[in-house]
C-alpha cells in the first residue's frame, strides 16, 4: 500500500500557520483592548474623584483660584476621557477586524481539510480496489493450478 500524499498539503500548512498567526493577533488585540478599558476606567474614576472633591470644597470655603483650578482639571479629565473612549473604540474595532479575519482563515483551512479528507477517502477506495484486484489474481492463480 503506497503512502497517502495530499497534493495541496503545502497550502493547508500555510493556512494552518495563518490561522495560528491570526489567533495570536487576536489575543494581543484583546489584551490591548483590556488595557485601554482599564485605563479608561481609571481616568473616569480620577475625574469623578476630582468632581467629588470640588463639590466637597464648594460646601466649605473656596477661593476663585481653586474654582479655576478645578475647572481646568475637570476640562482636562473630560478631554482625556473622550480621547481614551476613542482609543477604546479603535481597539475594539481592531479586535472585531481581526476576529473577522480569523473566521475567514478558519473557513479556508476547513475547506482544505475537507479536500484532504475527500482525497484520502478516494485514495483509500482506490487502494481497496487494488488490494481486491490483487487478491482476485492470487485466488484465480491458485484456482487454475
- pLDDT, one tens digit per residue, over 38-78 is 999 999 999 999 889 888 888 777 888 888 998 899 999 99
What's the pLDDT score for residue 88?
A: 97
The C-alpha atoms of residue 50 and residue 72 are separated, in whole angstroms, by 11
Task: Record the pTM.
Answer: 0.74
- For 19, 42, 45, the CA distances from 103, given in Å and listed in that order, are 9, 33, 37
Going from N- to C-terminal start, the domains of the chain cover: 9-109
Q: Which residue has the higher pLDDT, 8 or 62?
A: 8
Give the residue from 13, 23, 30 showing the smallest Cα distance to 101. 23
Cβ distance 97 to 28 under 8 Å? no
Q: What is the 8-class DSSP label of residue 3?
A: P
Q: Which residue has the higher pLDDT, 58 or 116?
A: 116
User: Can you read off the three cell numbers belonging to residue 79?
Assistant: 478631554
Amino acid at each position: 500500500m503506497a503512502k497517502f500524499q495530499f497534493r495541496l498539503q503545502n497550502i493547508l500548512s500555510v493556512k494552518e500557520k495563518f490561522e495560528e498567526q491570526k489567533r495570536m493577533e487576536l489575543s494581543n488585540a484583546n489584551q490591548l483592548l483590556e488595557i485601554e478599558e482599564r485605563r479608561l476606567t481609571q481616568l473616569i474614576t480620577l475625574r469623578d474623584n476630582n468632581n467629588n472633591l470640588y463639590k466637597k470644597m464648594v460646601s466649605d470655603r473656596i477661593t476663585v483660584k481653586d474654582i479655576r483650578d478645578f475647572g481646568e482639571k475637570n476640562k482636562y479629565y473630560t478631554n482625556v476621557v473622550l480621547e481614551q473612549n476613542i482609543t477604546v473604540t479603535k481597539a475594539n474595532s481592531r479586535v472585531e477586524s481581526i476576529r473577522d479575519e480569523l473566521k475567514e482563515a478558519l473557513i479556508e483551512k476547513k475547506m482544505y481539510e475537507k479536500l484532504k479528507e475527500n482525497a484520502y477517502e478516494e485514495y483509500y477506495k482506490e487502494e481497496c480496489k487494488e488490494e481486491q484486484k490483487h487478491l482476485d489474481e492470487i485466488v484465480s492463480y491458485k484456482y487454475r493450478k
